[in-house]
Chains A and B, each alone.
Chain A
Amino acid sequence: MSGEGGAAWVFGENIDTDQLAPGGTLKGSIEEIAKHCLVRVNPSFASEVKPGDFVVGGRNFGIGSSREQAAQALHHHGVAAVIAPSFGGIFYRNALNFGLLVVECPDAGRIGEGDRLTLDPVKGEVKNLTNGESYACQPVPAHLLEIVEAGGLVPYLEAIRS
């Protein structure tokens, strides 16, 4: 398998914030929470995901609580982007605020476990290097991409306030 792009970790529909950041772990640090991220649905995810990998979900990815540790835990693991047909609205905002790319992609279901992917968020295209397919996705709106490119809302605010 090519080392290009990032590997896809594929999850189903309605991945909720309790699966991303379980309530019982929220008292702890993000390092601690990240160890529990998604392990209820895939026990090897938190220990084996590599920086630059992609998380691919079904519809409603990140539905549930407003706890931003759900997005922060994925960001902590160095996930390049979350690709799903639709997102929980609060999760979507939280992810961008951490500089984690989230893209709406109707064809996300065509991506297989371990497929190598690349993403162009401006053009709105996911390329699947494993099967040669490419999928159209919603381009990330320009004002939100600015926040992501700054590294998240806090560095973004830091920059515009200085």
Chain B
Amino acid sequence: MGQTLAEKLIARAAGKDSVKPGETVTAQVDLAMMHDSSGPRRFEPILERLGAKVWDPDKIVLVSDHWVPAVDAQSAQILDQTRRWAFANDVKAFYDMVGICHVVLPQGGHLKPGMFVVGGDSHSTTGGAFGCYMFGVGSTDMAGVLVTGETWIRVPESIRIEWKGKLGPGVCAKDINLALCKALGLGGAEYRTVEYTGELIDDLTMEERMTLSNMAAELGAQAGLIAPDQTTASYIRDAGGDPGEIDPWQSDADAEYFASHTFDGSALEPLVAAPHSPANTAPASSYEGIKIDQAYIGACTGAKLADLRMAAEVLEGRQVASRSRLLVAPASRQDMMAAQDDGTLSKLMAAGAVMMPTGCGACAGFGGGVLHENEVCISSTSRNFQGRMGAQSSKVYLGSPYSVAAAAVAGEIRDPREFLNGS
């Protein structure tokens, strides 16, 4: 019987010819990614207690993105400890305040199809877009990896998610995510692995594929895989990395899945998730009239170059509504510079956007841009759990960068297609 991509990736890391769902194996870790919040400040005391050194500093990517820039003595301490640990342990791939880990990692050319990667963050599923088995772990698990270079994994069943058709104007990967959260339910994958496939996925850019794999976390999947192809290889080459082989990292035609779902992207319209769950999703048009105080374009999910361009498409020649505000925190310095070069930043700022530092920002209630009691926000981020972006009574709607920009202009939630040229 054939194997799924997940089974092939885990088998390789476990040094086996094949693995079966349900089996627990020990896997060698090719790369460990961590950030300031889950990183040294959490595991340095553990390493000290164990009297252990890191197994291989060249297999570590450390990114300060959560508490940046420091806003008080506590966050400054966290960032200082992160830097000191990176220097003391000779971690060369240390990215300090230049972007969000899930975006910086591929932009730095660190990912290669076939790798087994752990990340100290739940949205580590993003790496699955590159045909890597990448998943999130907590800091103690990470300490175990840093000491031993390996970790245990129970081989998950796979869920095949096929997308047919083509996305219409004003519809993007974020809308696919929200549709999937509704169809499968929050956590509906129950820690299985999802594999995205089909002609629509083949057509997506790497940035859009990253957005898709990113929110596998909201589906409750351990990993969100997309088999690598020429789009993957050319992205990695452009990032200065080595794409390696692509052919071994495809699911077999006779592989066995826990479930298979097929969706038609041509029928998809812009979606919005209402408070307080990404699965609480309905067409953007059905929320028309809901007034917003803040529109937020940010996070690994929603502020890459492609996302900034989507927002600019809506905002060009328009102004943010007088009683609303628009905050933009680009996902990385590289994205910010590219957006400067192609005029995207000018369009955002001319419309009245407030530019924020690159980093995780308000997405998880860190950094600037958090909400007061009863404020309403529409956000291109991934989670709208109660109180996550600030005050307990604040309300967060999730939407694509198109939908967030449209709401910023209208002062209320609208179908973004009303604001796109030619529609």
CA distance A40 to B383 in the complex (A): 17
A18 partner, pick from B38, B191, B385, beta carbons under 8 A: B385
Q: Is the CB of A40 within 8 A of B386?
A: yes
CA distance A1 to B137 in the complex (A): 40
Q: Hey, what's the 0/1 contact readout for B74-91 against A, CB within 8 Å counting as 1?
A: 110010000000000000
Q: How many residues of A contact B (CB 8 A)?
A: 38
Q: Is the CB of A89 within 8 A of B42?
A: no
For B388, what are the chain A residues with a Cβ–Cβ distance below 8 Å?
18, 23
Q: Is the CB of B141 within 8 A of A154?
A: no
Residues 78-108 of A contacting B (Cβ, < 8 Å)? 86-90, 92-94, 97-98
Q: Hey, what's the 0/1 contact readout for B205-248 against A, CB within 8 Å counting as 1?
A: 00000000000000010100000000000000000000000000
Kindly state whether residue B37 has any CB partner on chain A within 8 Å. Answer: yes
CA distance A157 to B55 in the complex (A): 14
For B140, what are the chain A residues with a Cβ–Cβ distance below 8 Å?
68, 94, 97-98, 152-154
Known: A19-B386, A40-B392, A158-B50. A14 touches B137 (CB 8 A): no
Shortest Cβ distance from B38 into A: residue: A66
CA distance A121 to B385 in the complex (A): 31
Q: Hey, what's the 0/1 contact readout for A118-162 against B, CB within 8 Å counting as 1?
A: 000000000000000000000001010000000011100110010
CA distance A88 to B365 in the complex (A): 21
Q: Is the CB of B277 within 8 A of A86?
A: no
* Shortest Cβ distance from residue B19 to the other chain A in the assembled complex, whole angstroms: 16
B187 partner, pick from A14, A23, A40, A93, beta carbons under 8 A: A14
Q: Is the CB of B50 within 8 A of A161?
A: yes
CA distance A96 to B16 in the complex (A): 26
For A22, what are the chain B residues with a Cβ–Cβ distance below 8 Å?
365, 387
Shortest Cβ distance from B221 into A: residue: A89
For B370, what are the chain A residues with a Cβ–Cβ distance below 8 Å?
24
For B152, what are the chain A residues with a Cβ–Cβ distance below 8 Å?
143
Q: Is the CB of A14 within 8 A of B277?
A: yes
CA distance A140 to B92 in the complex (A): 39
CA distance A154 to B49 in the complex (A): 8
Q: Is the CB of B121 within 8 A of A66?
A: yes
Kindly state whether residue B105 has any CB partner on chain A within 8 Å. Answer: no
CA distance A19 to B147 in the complex (A): 31
Known: A14-B186, A18-B386. A154 touches B143 (CB 8 A): yes
* Shortest Cβ distance from residue A93 to the other chain B in the assembled complex, whole angstroms: 6
Kindly state whether residue A42 has any CB partner on chain B within 8 Å. Answer: no
B137 partner, pick from A16, A90, A141, A154, beta carbons under 8 A: A90
Q: How many residues of B contact A (CB 8 A)?
A: 47
**Total number of A-B contacts with CB less than 8 angstroms?**
113
Q: Is the CB of A153 within 8 A of B141?
A: yes
Q: Is the CB of A141 within 8 A of B24?
A: yes
CA distance A89 to B190 in the complex (A): 7
Q: Hey, what's the 0/1 contact readout for B396-409 against A, CB within 8 Å counting as 1?
A: 00000000000000
Kindly state whether residue B122 has any CB partner on chain A within 8 Å. Answer: yes
Kindly state whether residue B138 has any CB partner on chain A within 8 Å. Answer: yes
CA distance A65 to B123 in the complex (A): 8
Kindly state whether residue B93 has any CB partner on chain A within 8 Å. Answer: no
Shortest Cβ distance from A23 into B: residue: B365
Q: Is the CB of A26 within 8 A of B37?
A: yes
Q: Is the CB of B141 within 8 A of A94?
A: yes
CA distance A85 to B147 in the complex (A): 33
Kindly state whether residue A71 has any CB partner on chain B within 8 Å. Answer: yes
Shortest Cβ distance from A157 into B: residue: B50
Shortest Cβ distance from B363 into A: residue: A23
CA distance A65 to B220 in the complex (A): 11
* Shortest Cβ distance from residue B278 to the other chain A in the assembled complex, whole angstroms: 10
Kindly state whether residue A64 has any CB partner on chain B within 8 Å. Answer: yes
For A67, what are the chain B residues with a Cβ–Cβ distance below 8 Å?
37-38, 138
CA distance A66 to B120 in the complex (A): 7
Kindly state whether residue A3 has any CB partner on chain B within 8 Å. Answer: no
Q: Is the CB of B143 within 8 A of A63?
A: no
Q: Is the CB of A157 within 8 A of B144?
A: yes
A89 partner, pick from B38, B222, B390, beta carbons under 8 A: B222
Known: A98-B140, A157-B50. A27 touches B365 (CB 8 A): no
Kindly state whether residue B40 has any CB partner on chain A within 8 Å. Answer: no
* Shortest Cβ distance from residue B230 to the other chain A in the assembled complex, whole angstroms: 32
Q: Is the CB of A86 within 8 A of B190?
A: yes
CA distance A14 to B383 in the complex (A): 13
For B191, what are the chain A residues with a Cβ–Cβ distance below 8 Å?
87-89, 92
For B364, what are the chain A residues with a Cβ–Cβ distance below 8 Å?
18, 23, 65
Shortest Cβ distance from A16 into B: residue: B385
Chain A to chain B contacts (Cβ below 8 Å), 6 pairs: A18-B364, A26-B37, A153-B143, A153-B144, A154-B143, A161-B50
B residues apposed to A, CB below 8 Å: 24, 37-38, 42, 46, 49-50, 52, 67, 72, 74-75, 78, 119-122, 124, 136-141, 143-144, 147-148, 152, 186-187, 190-191, 220, 222, 277, 364-366, 370, 383, 385-388, 390, 392
**With A19-B387, A66-B138 already in contact, 5 other A-B pairs whose C-beta atoms are closer than 8 Å:** A63-B186, A65-B122, A65-B364, A89-B220, A161-B50
A residues apposed to B, CB below 8 Å: 14, 16, 18-19, 22-24, 26-28, 40, 59-60, 63-68, 71, 86-90, 92-94, 97-98, 141, 143, 152-154, 157-158, 161
Closest 10 A/B residue pairs (Cβ) = A68-B138, A89-B191, A23-B365, A60-B187, A94-B138, A97-B140, A27-B74, A66-B136, A66-B122, A23-B364
